[in-house]
């Protein structure tokens, strides 16, 4: 039975003969043992919840059950939860969504640029509060099954993908120039075959003056009814940025590397190219895609000062950018705090906007019933320096750090062990401090790290 939301389990410990001789009410009072089974698996208590979808930014408790958000309220009784973690002073946000990464770490092709530059997602995402990524064109239709087998199916991070219009993906700059290898029909067919994983088509790195790669990508995207992400390659007067943004791209298509300055994002006077504003009116989305060479303060500062903010913040994560000015998702987000955006604005552009851009609106928010992908972030204050792709510094006084990450309602990373007991309070031969209802870091009873296998998403 249920009393005030708590399930009551009655355990009877008496022989049948005695039971028959007592009225049921007296029997329950005398010999019943009442155990309260918690209503929630995990309760995050006292944090500041930022949920852009619901425009919520306030101190709230957040409860999780069976991998889903079960309640968000001003106060939730800790007695209702199997595990309670005090996160006062921290920010609770949806799990961050990075829609521009490269996570194909090997594919058997000796000349593959993707394999050389790709990183293992779980090694870079969870510790940064990122629970979902979209690989941006590492694989084309010929290589997608390999990406799925090697990375998607093995990762705790939710890995989605933009399919490269080049059938063999990012094999290196020279090998990405073959127009004959850019075929819309097989790319669209693969995307339709994997609707749950392929969220868009990518075109990138083209060094010629034709619009052919864009046209082929748009054709595939139209057939599969998914957006196209464009890395516009080399700058040519024959294919100006204005034509791309105002006549080629459709509403919902994504222009990445917004602040690179490599393709006319600034006009000759140093102001934001008017085509950016025209593209936004058309419905084109604009993505940061920081990367190793695609973010410069001399470009970002004037464009943002003119009021042109990105729709999505992303890293363009790869081996070069991770060890350069980009570093990780939280570092890129902190740069936008230093550029004057509010924390709520930064979270919006790192969660809900990203989910909408890739048409995954079941993600990126903390509504009751949503999958419990959650980031618990700390906003540090002090004196910090943030580097662009050319190692030029911008000073800032705020920096985000990740305290804890939850994937499907279970802790997959935590920095300071807020959920854990002090070792001096444990038995002499302790092995594990977690429980599978809320912990995905250690195997119960062993203390060993879990094998990173992608857990199934609960619909």
Under 8 Å between Cβ of 321 and 314: no
Interatomic CA distance for residues 248 and 71, integer angstroms: 44
Interatomic CA distance for residues 258 and 459, integer angstroms: 34
Interatomic CA distance for residues 290 and 287, integer angstroms: 9
217 phi/psi in degrees, rounded to 5 = -65, -40
Give the closest residue to 413 by CA, choosing from 121, 48, 50. Answer: 121
pLDDT tens-place values along the chain, 459 residues long: 443 344 444 333 334 444 444 454 444 444 444 456 899 999 999 999 999 999 999 999 999 999 999 999 999 999 999 999 999 999 999 999 999 999 998 655 555 555 568 999 999 999 999 999 999 999 999 999 999 999 999 999 999 999 999 999 998 777 899 999 999 999 999 999 999 999 999 999 999 999 999 999 999 999 999 999 999 999 999 999 999 999 999 999 999 999 999 999 999 999 999 999 999 999 999 999 999 999 999 999 999 999 999 999 999 999 999 999 999 999 999 999 999 999 999 999 999 999 999 999 999 999 999 999 999 999 999 999 999 999 999 999 999 999 999 999 999 999 999 999 999 999 999 988 999 999 999 865 444 444 444 444 544
Provide the 8-state DSSP code for 429: T
| pTM (predicted TM-score) | 0.90
Interatomic CA distance for residues 317 and 276, integer angstroms: 24
DSSP readout, 333-393? HHHHHHTT--HHHHHHTTTHHHHHHTT-TTSS---TTSB--EEEEEEEEEEEEEE-TT--E
Q: Count other Cβ atoms within 10 Å, centred on residue 405.
A: 28
End-to-end CA distance of the chain: 27
Residues 6 or more apart whose Cβ sits within 8 Å of residue 182? 165, 166, 167, 203, 212, 213, 216, 217
Query: What is the chain's alpha carbon radius of gyration, rounded to the nearest angstrom?
Result: 25
DSSP readout, 160-198? EEEEESBTT-SS-TGGG--GGGB-HHHHHHHHHHTTTTE
Residues 6 or more apart whose Cβ sits within 8 Å of residue 370? 68, 69, 362, 363
Domain boundaries, the chain: 2-37, 95-376+383-397
Under 8 Å between Cβ of 90 and 58: no
Q: Count other Cβ atoms within 10 Å, centred on residue 207.
A: 11
Beta bridge partners of 309: none
Q: Distances in Å between the alpha carbon of 40 and those of 64, 80, 83, 409?
A: 6, 6, 8, 11
Give the closest residue to 265 by CA, choosing from 287, 247, 291, 281. Answer: 287
Instruction: Classify domain 95-376+383-397 at the CATH class level.
Output: alpha beta
């Amino acid at each position: 039975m249920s009393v005030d939301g708590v399930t009551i389990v009655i355990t009877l410990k008496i022989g049948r003969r005695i039971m028959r001789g007592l009225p049921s009410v007296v029997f329950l009072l005398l010999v019943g043992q009442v155990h309260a089974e918690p209503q929630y698996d995990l309760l995050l208590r006292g944090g500041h919840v930022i949920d852009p979808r619901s425009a919520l930014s306030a101190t709230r408790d957040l409860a999780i059950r069976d991998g889903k958000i079960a309640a968000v309220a001003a106060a939730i009784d800790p007695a209702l939860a199997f595990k309670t973690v005090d996160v006062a002073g921290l920010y609770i946000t949806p799990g961050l969504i990075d829609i521009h990464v490269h996570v194909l770490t090997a594919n058997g092709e000796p000349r593959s640029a993707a394999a050389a530059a790709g990183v293992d997602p779980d090694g870079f995402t969870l510790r940064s509060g990122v629970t979902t990524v979209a690989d941006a064109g590492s694989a084309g239709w010929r290589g997608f099954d390999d990406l799925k087998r090697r990375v998607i199916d093995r990762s705790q991070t939710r890995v989605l993908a933009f399919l490269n219009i080049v059938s063999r993906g990012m094999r290196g700059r020279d090998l990405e120039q073959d127009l004959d290898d850019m075929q819309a029909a097989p790319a669209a067919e693969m995307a339709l075959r994997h609707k749950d994983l392929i969220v868009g088509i990518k075109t990138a790195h083209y060094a010629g003056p034709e619009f052919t790669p864009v046209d082929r990508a748009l054709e595939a995207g139209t057939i599969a009814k998914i957006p196209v992400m464009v890395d516009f390659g080399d700058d040519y007067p024959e294919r100006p940025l204005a034509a791309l943004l105002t006549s080629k791209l459709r509403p919902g298509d994504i222009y990445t590397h917004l602040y690179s300055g490599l393709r006319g994002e600034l006009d000759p006077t140093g102001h934001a190219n008017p085509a950016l504003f025209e593209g936004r009116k058309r419905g084109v989305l604009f993505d940061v895609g920081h990367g190793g060479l695609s973010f410069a303060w001399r470009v970002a500062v004037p464009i943002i000062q003119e009021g042109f903010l990105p729709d999505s913040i992303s890293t363009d994560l790869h081996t070069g950018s991770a060890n350069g000015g980009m570093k990780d998702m939280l570092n890129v987000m902190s740069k936008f705090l230093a550029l004057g955006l509010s924390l709520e604005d930064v979270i919006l552009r790192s969660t809900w906007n990203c989910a909408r851009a890739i048409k995954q609106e079941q993600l990126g928010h903390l509504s009751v019933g949503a999958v419990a992908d959650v980031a618990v972030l700390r906003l540090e204050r002090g004196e910090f320096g943030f580097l662009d792709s050319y190692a030029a510094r911008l000073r800032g006084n705020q920096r985000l750090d990740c305290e804890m990450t939850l994937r499907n309602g279970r802790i997959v990373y935590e920095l300071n062990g807020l959920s854990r007991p002090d070792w001096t309070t444990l038995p002499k031969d302790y092995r594990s401090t977690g429980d599978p209802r809320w912990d995905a870091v250690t195997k119960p009873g062993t203390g060993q790290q879990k094998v990173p296998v992608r857990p199934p998403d609960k619909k």
